[in-house]
Amino acid sequence: MSLAYTTIAAAIATTSVVGHAWAQEAPAQQEEIPLFSLSDFGFTESINFYNYGNIPNTTEFVQNVHWSVAKDITLDLSLPFYTNGNTGLGMASVGLSAPVIQKPFSFVNTVTVGFDLKLPTSTNDFGGDDVNPVVSLETNGSTPVEKFNWEAGFSYEWNGDGSFAPVLGGLVYDDIMHVSGALSRELCSDMRIKANFNHWDGFDFGHVTTLGPSIAWTPCSNAEINFSVDFPISDSDNSDLDSIFGVGVSLKF
């Protein structure tokens, strides 16, 4: 009996050691984000009202869908509609973006680059007949003051045969540069306010610089509602922009 017990105990011990060693040597499976995963799918509807002094006002409706096609790579599809007495489709946009730098400094969180193509899908002169490439750079971070954060952005559109830019008064045939910045503060867990700066430069077609506040409300974990208003502080185009009112709804799945 003693020999039998000894043999059984040795077998159990050997199995435990081999199992432990296999568990340590087995490669850990990396989490993969499947293509077209609805777990990272989002939809945004934005409506902007452009009020001018010299030309008919324009209302812009933009539908945007985005999802992660790979780790840290986001695909965006946008489709704008416009009405200003005429109604038509704008230039659809498809693009990719990805963070390239994480926490380079204590006050910088992320630096993200993007590349988009604006496609000639427009009707009624709400865009051009060529493909316009757009590059962008966005970054954000924190400040020494608790609950205050900052963000900044830059984009440049190479204009082939026209691009509809309501903030510049309509159809623009020169390149378009956009520089933005914002300082935000969390009011509570589900609400934050921002002070926004924007500058659009259409070069020979003039420029517009605006300042204005916005507020974002998160009624639930997968939804956000935004309200904004911007007023021009410098305007050299012919539209005589008076104000921009915006509202947006974002959903995440």
Q: CA geometry: angle at 115 spanning 113 and 118, to 5°? A: 145
Spatial CA neighbour of 209 closest among 251, 176, 241, 164? 241
CA distances from 109 to 16, 95, 104, 137, 183 (A): 45, 22, 7, 14, 14
Cα–Cα distance for residue pair 169/171, rounded to 1 Å: 7
pLDDT tens track, the chain, 253 positions: 444 444 444 444 444 444 444 444 445 555 555 555 555 789 999 999 999 998 999 999 999 999 988 888 999 999 999 999 999 999 999 999 999 999 999 999 999 999 999 999 999 999 999 999 999 999 999 999 999 999 999 999 999 999 999 999 999 999 999 999 999 999 988 999 999 999 999 999 999 999 999 999 999 989 999 999 999 999 987 778 999 999 999 998 8
Three-class DSSP category at 20: helix
The neighbouring-strand residues paired with 164 are: 171
Instruction: Single out the residue of 215, 135, 145, 146 nearest to residue 176, CA to CA.
Output: 135
Structural domains of the chain, ranges and CATH numbers in brackets: 33-252 (2.40.160.40)
Q: DSSP state, 107?
A: T
